[in-house]
Chains A and B, each alone.
Chain A
Amino acid sequence: MTTNMTTLAPSASEKFTQRALPFILFALLLIVIPFIGVSRGTLTLFNHIGINIVFALSYNMLLGRAGLLSFGHAVYLGLGGYFCVHILNWIADADGSGFWGNVPVFSLPIFGFAMGALAGAIIGWPSCRRAGTAFAMISLGVAELMSTAAFMFDSLFGGEMGISGDRMSGPKFFGLSMGPIEQVYYFIAFWTLVGTVAMYAFTRTPLGRLSEATRDNAERVQFIGYDPTRVRYLVFIFAGAFAGMAGGMSAVQDEIFTPDSLSLIPSGAILIATYIGGIRFFAGPIFGAILMTYMGSNLSDYTAGWLLYLGLMFISVVLFVPDGIAGLVFGFWRGIRSPGRYALIGKWITQILGLALVATSVIVVVEVAYRWSDGYGDVFAPFGFDLPHNGALTWVIGTLPLLAGILILRRVKRTESEA
């Protein structure tokens, strides 16, 4: 039997809609955002989202593509970022003369990229000899080592205060002084797009393909003549490089880096963001980065328990939705175009109802618990209902919807597995 390979390959229009169109739309979106009249605070949020998109995508090169679980990816962002803050100061000191005097601040992510790659090449060499759990533990150890050691070298890392710079120094690039937040936005948008396209292109290279093969079966990769350790090492360097690039973007946006940026906390945050977004899809980390950055900056204004919600959300994703937000989004997109869409929509509505019931109880319990714990005597009063910690109504709302919601969700799942 002969199969005509040309009929299996995607047609030119399919290639366009699947590979080029999403990026064109993404670029248009990035350009349009400042014109819809957003406030300075929102632009700052968008800048942080852009940084985290690049960071999360670089993290997914390891976790999703190469199957390497790292607990220390912030090290590369931090080192790239620190290098760029130093460069900011060198540019300011050079005052227009010499090499640094001619470097525009706009190009900083390139230096961050190089520094991240260098750090990845040095640290990756001992870590990438192992995969799986051992790799995860080594990355954890390296992150702790770096963040504790950073406090010893004040001239490099600036101690507790960190190191700060001034993004307005140096030559202008296309008339951008980098002072106003709009200009920083375009800087971030440009590099976010560059990073996203470059990392997508990376997945299409032989190395990107091999990294996925190594994740799935390292032994077979060895059989066909490639060295899995080498593949992991190379991917690790690229992942570090793109994280360093995000660091360079962050150095310009925030103009400061502290040793805490190397620690386990930002590494854990990006792990959570990437996983919630969905590690099996290229776009997953983008969704995750947008949601987590938004939650991190806004949810903390509404509730003291946002870290708890974050943890609950992460655990629920690990337990019930291993494909993350991207899995949900693409599943919805596929379902809505399939012939059985009406049955599916019915199922989704039931599931959303169940989830809403569970969420109601969880929110009530968490909010009441935090107010009880604070001891200020605050009472959680949503929509005018008083819900004190010792009120009967509180306990009814805290338990009954939860049970009802769980029952509904289980029922949906059972009918699904029967069908």
Chain B
Amino acid sequence: METIVFSLLNGMIYGLLLFMLSSGLTLIFSMMGILNFAHASFYMLGAYFAYTIMGVTNFWLALFLAPVLAGGVGMLVERWGLRRVHVNGHVAELLFTFGLAYLIDEVVRIIWGRNAVNYKVPEALDFTLFTLYGSNYPAYRIFILFVAVFMLVSLWYLLKRTRIGLIIQAALTHPHMVGHLGHNVPLVFMSVFGAGCALAGLAGVIGGNYFITDPAMAVQMGPIVFVVVVVGGLGSLEGAFLAAMLIGILQTSAVSINASFSDIFGFLGLTASSELGRITVAQLAPTLPFLLLVLVLIARPRGLMGEREV
């Protein structure tokens, strides 16, 4: 029971972080057809920006400024990079962001060094919120939960209930028509790209000190975010949410299960001394998202909630 509750709570937080990352990716994808390979790099930038800003001022300013900065970098990238390669097709765009991920990785190494930086949870949030089954539950995790949920609700409100959201949604499906109606579609694209990167940056601000802030964080997070987006169905926000929660909870619970294959499949005659029998579920955790990806794509090629074959 104890394990289940903790796994669910932590899995939900991890899932929400994943969703913050993948929501930006999904928005960008459904609008421009670009799968931004460098998306996780903006997550990393968010964390590093927050670390630097926090060193000068405080965490709350960093919480606001770091995503804005990450979004600004994203807008510059869209304006001066992606828009140029757009004429060469989607593969060129994907390759451009792929190269960008390399560049951002190296630049981060130059500026902040090769080792992890000491980006800590702010003192105001560094206390035990409640005690559950005798274990202390840190307040910062609940803070992440609140930030993520707040962000999601505002995103939903912005997209579904405001005029800006209306234009964005229209530009998703009928960019030419929206352009003819007098809206600046390239500006909309640039803003959406920036907003997506800002969301990734925000995830970095609150995730960077929850996990660890080092130059490898983008490479670790990137593939999982892609899995979320593809499993959820390319271009579907609801699907991305489902997939993010599913993977978050799945991976977090798997880590806490110490049973090995021989314990589970012992009735099939699998012994603990065999190589296959020695593998524990916890060991399997890093492969689970990718296993899920392959399984989902075999059974349902358009993903959980995807409407179109991409």
Q: Does B279 sit within 8 A of A, measured CB to CB? A: yes
With contacts A145-B287, A319-B81 taken as known, whether A312 is within 8 angstroms of B95 at the C-beta atoms is no
Q: In the complex, which residues of chain B have a beta carbon less than 8 angstroms from the beta carbon of A69?
A: 91, 94-95
Q: Does A132 sit within 8 A of B, measured CB to CB? A: yes
One of A132, A307, A319, A373 near B111 (C-beta < 8 A): A373
Give the dominant DSSP class at A's interface: helix
What's the minimum C-beta distance from B297 to chain A, rounded to whole angstroms? Answer: 6
Q: Does A314 sit within 8 A of B, measured CB to CB? A: yes
Question: Are the C-beta atoms of A315 and B99 separated by less than 8 Å?
Answer: yes
Question: Are the C-beta atoms of B223 and A307 separated by less than 8 Å?
Answer: no
Within 8 A of B (CB), among A127-141: 127, 129-130, 132-134, 136-138, 140-141
Q: In the complex, which residues of chain B have a beta carbon less than 8 angstroms from the beta carbon of A129?
A: 297, 301
Range for the number of chain B residues in contact with chain A? 35 or more
Q: In the complex, which residues of chain B have a beta carbon less than 8 angstroms from the beta carbon of A155?
A: 275
Question: Are the C-beta atoms of A134 and B310 separated by less than 8 Å?
Answer: yes
Question: Are the C-beta atoms of A138 and B297 separated by less than 8 Å?
Answer: yes
Q: In the complex, which residues of chain A have a beta carbon less than 8 angstroms from the beta carbon of B289?
A: 141
Question: Are the C-beta atoms of A140 and B92 separated by less than 8 Å?
Answer: no
Give the docked Cα–Cα distance between A69 and B90 (Å): 10
Q: In the complex, which residues of chain B have a beta carbon less than 8 angstroms from the beta carbon of A370?
A: 110
Q: Does A154 sit within 8 A of B, measured CB to CB? A: yes
Most buried by A among B95, B110, B111, B293: B95
Q: Does B79 sit within 8 A of A, measured CB to CB? A: no
Q: In the complex, which residues of chain A have a beta carbon less than 8 angstroms from the beta carbon of B94?
A: 69, 133, 136
- Identify the stretch in B100-108, B148-156, B197-205, B262-270 within 8 Å (CB) of chain A at 4 or more residues: B100-108
Q: Does B123 sit within 8 A of A, measured CB to CB? A: no
What's the minimum C-beta distance from B110 to chain A, rounded to whole angstroms? Answer: 5
Give the docked Cα–Cα distance between A154 and B278 (Å): 11
Q: In the complex, which residues of chain B have a beta carbon less than 8 angstroms from the beta carbon of A372?
A: 110
Q: In the complex, which residues of chain A have a beta carbon less than 8 angstroms from the beta carbon of B107?
A: 308
Q: Does B249 sit within 8 A of A, measured CB to CB? A: no
Within 8 A of B (CB), among A81-135: 126-127, 129-130, 132-134
Q: In the complex, which residues of chain B have a beta carbon less than 8 angstroms from the beta carbon of A144?
A: 223, 287, 290
Question: Are the C-beta atoms of B287 and A307 separated by less than 8 Å?
Answer: no
Question: Are the C-beta atoms of A148 and B230 separated by less than 8 Å?
Answer: no
With contacts A129-B301, A271-B98 taken as known, whether A318 is within 8 angstroms of B294 at the C-beta atoms is no
Give the docked Cα–Cα distance between A305 and B291 (Å): 36
Give the docked Cα–Cα distance between A373 and B114 (Å): 9
Within 8 A of B (CB), among A353-370: 369-370
**Chain A: how many interface residues by the 8 Å CB criterion?**
44
One of B29, B227, B290, B294 near A148 (C-beta < 8 A): B290
Give the docked Cα–Cα distance between A63 and B92 (Å): 11
Q: In the complex, which residues of chain A have a beta carbon less than 8 angstroms from the beta carbon of B102?
A: 268, 307, 310-311, 314
Q: In the complex, which residues of chain A have a beta carbon less than 8 angstroms from the beta carbon of B219?
A: 264
Q: Does A277 sit within 8 A of B, measured CB to CB? A: no
Give the docked Cα–Cα distance between A126 and B293 (Å): 11
One of A130, A136, A268, A305 near B301 (C-beta < 8 A): A130
Q: Does B237 sit within 8 A of A, measured CB to CB? A: no
Q: In the complex, which residues of chain B have a beta carbon less than 8 angstroms from the beta carbon of A308?
A: 103, 106-107, 110
Question: Are the C-beta atoms of B35 and A133 separated by less than 8 Å?
Answer: yes
Encode contact with A along B22-34: 1 for CB under 8 Å, 0 otherwise: 0000000100010
Q: Does A322 sit within 8 A of B, measured CB to CB? A: yes
Chain B's closest residue to A272 (CB) is: B99
Most buried by B among A145, A148, A154, A318: A318
Question: Are the C-beta atoms of B106 and A307 separated by less than 8 Å?
Answer: yes
Q: Does A80 sit within 8 A of B, measured CB to CB? A: no
Give the docked Cα–Cα distance between A155 and B103 (Å): 37
Q: Does A385 sit within 8 A of B, measured CB to CB? A: no
Encode contact with B along A147-167: 1 for CB under 8 Å, 0 otherwise: 011001111000000000000
What's the minimum C-beta distance from B12 to chain A, rounded to whole angstroms? Answer: 23
Most buried by B among A144, A272, A305: A144
What's the minimum C-beta distance from B11 to chain A, rounded to whole angstroms? Answer: 19
One of B88, B90, B103, B294 near A126 (C-beta < 8 A): B294
Question: Are the C-beta atoms of A154 and B103 separated by less than 8 Å?
Answer: no
What's the minimum C-beta distance from B227 to chain A, rounded to whole angstroms? Answer: 6
One of B103, B275, B291, B294 near A311 (C-beta < 8 A): B103
Question: Are the C-beta atoms of B286 and A319 separated by less than 8 Å?
Answer: no
What's the minimum C-beta distance from A122 to chain B, rounded to whole angstroms? Answer: 11
Most buried by B among A67, A126, A129, A272: A126
Question: Are the C-beta atoms of A141 and B99 separated by less than 8 Å?
Answer: no
Give the docked Cα–Cα distance between A376 and B310 (Å): 51
Most buried by A among B100, B229, B287: B287
With contacts A149-B287, A308-B107, A322-B88 taken as known, whether A140 is within 8 angstroms of B226 at the C-beta atoms is yes
Given contacts A63-B91, A138-B294, A148-B290, 10 further A-B contacts (CB under 8 A): A134-B230, A141-B230, A141-B289, A141-B290, A149-B287, A311-B103, A311-B106, A314-B99, A318-B85, A322-B92
- List, sorted by A's number, 14 A–B pairs whose CB atoms are closer than 8 Å: A132-B90, A133-B29, A133-B310, A134-B310, A136-B94, A141-B226, A144-B290, A145-B293, A148-B287, A268-B102, A305-B106, A311-B103, A312-B103, A372-B110
5 closest Cβ contacts across the A-B interface? A311-B102, A145-B290, A141-B293, A315-B99, A308-B106
- Using a CB–CB cutoff of 8 Å, the interface residues on chain B facing chain A are 29, 33, 35, 81, 84-85, 88, 90-92, 94-96, 98-100, 102-103, 106-107, 109-111, 113, 219, 223, 226-227, 229-230, 234, 275, 279, 283-284, 286-287, 289-291, 293-294, 297-298, 301, 309-310
